[in-house]
A = this chain, B = another copy of it.
Amino acid sequence: MFSNSSKYAIKAVLYLSLHSNSTRKIMAKDIAQPINVPPAYIAKLLQELVRTDLVSSVRGPKGGFFMSKENNNQKVIDVLNVIDGEKKFTGCLLSLEACNEEKPCPLHNILSTSRQHMIKVLNEHSIADLALAVKNGKAYLPL
């Protein structure tokens, strides 16, 4: 459904949302272990997330990654769009160039509703929302 990269990115951003802030930064290697992602890989993903303003960072000693208030308010779909690209959600389900609402492909026809709903939900929930669910014991991050 989502690529490994996207899953890793979501996990990293969630971890940062739960454990970091502007005065409490976390190094790439210290994020990698708890979310079970290769350190070098998560480092590369984090760089991309920093470039696109989804995560904040400071170099040098006492530096690291963290989530600012603005970062926390970004929507879940923003992370997915940066890593997997928008077409993943908006593109035709059969990759037909000429597929659209007026002339939908057969899959579009039957899946359009649930897909729209999916996009809506990802658009409505911020990273902070997901983190809050974890804090409240309504969602979990095991292993």
Interface of A toward B, CB cutoff 8 Å? 1-2, 4, 7, 10-11, 14, 76, 88-89, 91, 93-99, 103-111, 113-115, 117-118, 121-122, 125, 130-131, 133-134, 138-143
Q: Which of B4, B89, B105, B121 is A139 in contact with, Cβ under 8 Å?
A: B105
Q: Measured between alpha carbons, how far is A94 from B117 in the docked complex, in Å? A: 19
Copies in the complex: 2
Known A99-B140, A114-B117, A141-B96; contact A106-B7, beta-carbon cutoff 8 A: no
Q: Measured between alpha carbons, how far is A142 from B93 in the docked complex, in Å? A: 13
Neighbouring B residues of A121 by C-beta, 8 Å = 110-111, 114
- Give A88's nearest chain B residue, CB to CB: B1
